[in-house]
Structure 1
């Protein structure tokens, strides 16, 4: 007879069901609400989210073969990042006017993204199933970032974020009826969709520099470059559920998980003591930039 029962280690944030919520003290709710979908530290999860989206072969080859030169993350990473982060900000916190203009701009770019006879898989950027997958990946990323840096969510906060998350898909061409009706339904959709995930050698080779945060044309001194890539791979891989790590052949284990957890804990403390403007940078600035671009007629994407 043992004197204690073994305690099962909690699942890492990126593996936990979306429908899992906890009790949150009333005094902690106000600040958490104001950061919904607008947390600058979420940029750290960006490369992992790109990998998740492109893990569906049709999305992976759609991006890899894209004719939209300015939108290629391998050639224009800063511009692509600005477009993606602006999309997140506009979808979750933008005005109806901002959302209308940005939707039109995205649609214009997507009209040029479709497969050819030489493409390994058939795809079209207006495929609603693929757009739903992209929106679902973005929403899961928002939830993971919120849990890591803002804190756990109760039922009210989780429902509020889920309602906002729906816009990440419906800002594309996804009708509201296609978005899972509840958080539990989202978990079922996510589990089923993982069966369609596959990253082949071609897409993996395209994604690895993104995982390691290699910028095209920028070469740092070798020791600095190596350390920078090690840190980037730790963060990127830490934000990936195990299924995607396996597809990318990125090694992971308890030691790496502890390193990732320690880093995230330090960033969480820094985030909590930062003023709201700093916490929400650059998303708050990007929303103002959208207004400026609409007013002056400059491209949004």
Structure 2
């Protein structure tokens, strides 16, 4: 079921580095604006959602799962070709396997399953940039996709399911969203706070949370629901309307506006980028 390979470079991909668009956008601290889009979409693939349900601390301690999972992925992107954590990320998944409700087997390192997880992270960078930074040209989308092929190959998992170019990736993405993903219980749990309210984070005093929650919860619901593809909103039963969609598009256009981008680009690096991205830029002499 699994198919592991050694990381390799290929002539059909573009390199990661300070000039790459993936580096420019993936570690941008404005990423919170898209909400939990990649995590929810990942868990809507039945096999991946089942793996999280069976093996992860996601339900008991969501924050712990995020803190454990994201740093190695960022270090895979912002590391060098010879020094990144891609193989370590892959190896985290060796024992994530089991039975689906219909009796079939799943394994996290099945190439189709693993590639879907990666695809949602690439989509994260693409959707964020195109929605909240600037409208990307076709050439920029193609460039980002070819850079993402280098990123995926760093994991050392078979690239058999990986589309050849951005046009093929679009067809793959549309098929997954429109025909494959399902409202798995793991995904529904991940967006449950849209209607129920976000649970008080550990370490936040109950009194403080009572003051913050009335503002935080509707904003979180707006960003979460607005950031999901329309069909997945329907599958997950997320409340939305034409009015909310108009407000979301206005909100996104404000962030894409020239004055906001002008101001953001002049803020210090430690405001604009997370620590993993800053370390990568600094190592490459672009601090």
> Would the aligned equivalents of 1:66 and 1:113 in 2 still touch at CA under 8 Å?
yes
> Would the aligned equivalents of 1:36 and 1:161 in 2 still touch at CA under 8 Å?
no
Between stretches 72-81 and 236-245, larger displacement belongs to 72-81
Give the TM-score, by structure 2 length.
0.74
Check 1:205–1:245 CA distance in 2 against 1; reply closer, same or farther (3 A cut): closer
> Would the aligned equivalents of 1:138 and 1:168 in 2 still touch at CA under 8 Å?
no
Q: What whole-Å deviation, never above 9, does each CA across 1:79-117 have from its counterpart, x for those lacking one?
A: 524632551x33433212332xx1232233212311158
Matched, 1:248 2:241: no
Q: What whole-Å deviation, never above 9, does each CA across 1:38-95 have from its counterpart, x for those lacking one?
A: 322123325121111100111111112115x4xx3750415524632551x3343321
> Would the aligned equivalents of 1:37 and 1:93 in 2 still touch at CA under 8 Å?
no
> Structure 1 stretches of 5 or more lacking a match?
1-29, 291-301
Matched, 1:237 2:225: yes
Between stretches 155-164 and 271-280, larger displacement belongs to 271-280
> Would the aligned equivalents of 1:54 and 1:60 in 2 still touch at CA under 8 Å?
yes
Alpha-carbon deviation of 1:156? 3.5
Aligned to 1:279: 272
SS of 1:96's equivalent in the other structure is coil
Give distance in 1, aligned partners of 2:229 and 2:46: 18
SS of 2:96's equivalent in the other structure is coil
Give the TM-score, by structure 1 length.
0.71
Alignment: residue pair count: 254
Partner residue of 2:116 out of 114, 127, 133: 133
Partner residue of 1:108 out of 88, 91, 98: 91
SS of 1:115's equivalent in the other structure is strand
> Structure 2 stretches of 5 or more lacking a match?
1-18
Partner residue of 1:90 out of 75, 78, 81: 75
